[in-house]
Amino acid sequence: MRKSFDLFFVSSNNHKYQEAKSILDSFGIDLGFLKSNLEEIQSDSLRDIAVVKAQDAFSKFKRPIVIEDGGLFINSLDGFPGPYSSYVFKTIGNKGILNLLKKSRGAKFVSVITFCDDATLQSFEGKSSGKISEIQKGKGWGYDPIFIPDNVTKTFAELNNKNKLSHRYKALKEFSKWYLHK
Cα-based distances in Å from 117 to 58, 77, 99: 7, 37, 43
Cα 177–Cα 140–Cα 173 angle in degrees, nearest 5? 5
Contact 33, 9 (CB under 8 A): yes
Distance of CA 42 to the CA centre of its chain: 17
Q: Are strands 81-82 and 121-132 parallel, antiparallel or unpaired?
A: unpaired
Active site residues: 69
Number of residues that make up the chain: 182
Spatial separation of the C-alpha atoms in residues 27 and 41, rounded to whole Å: 31
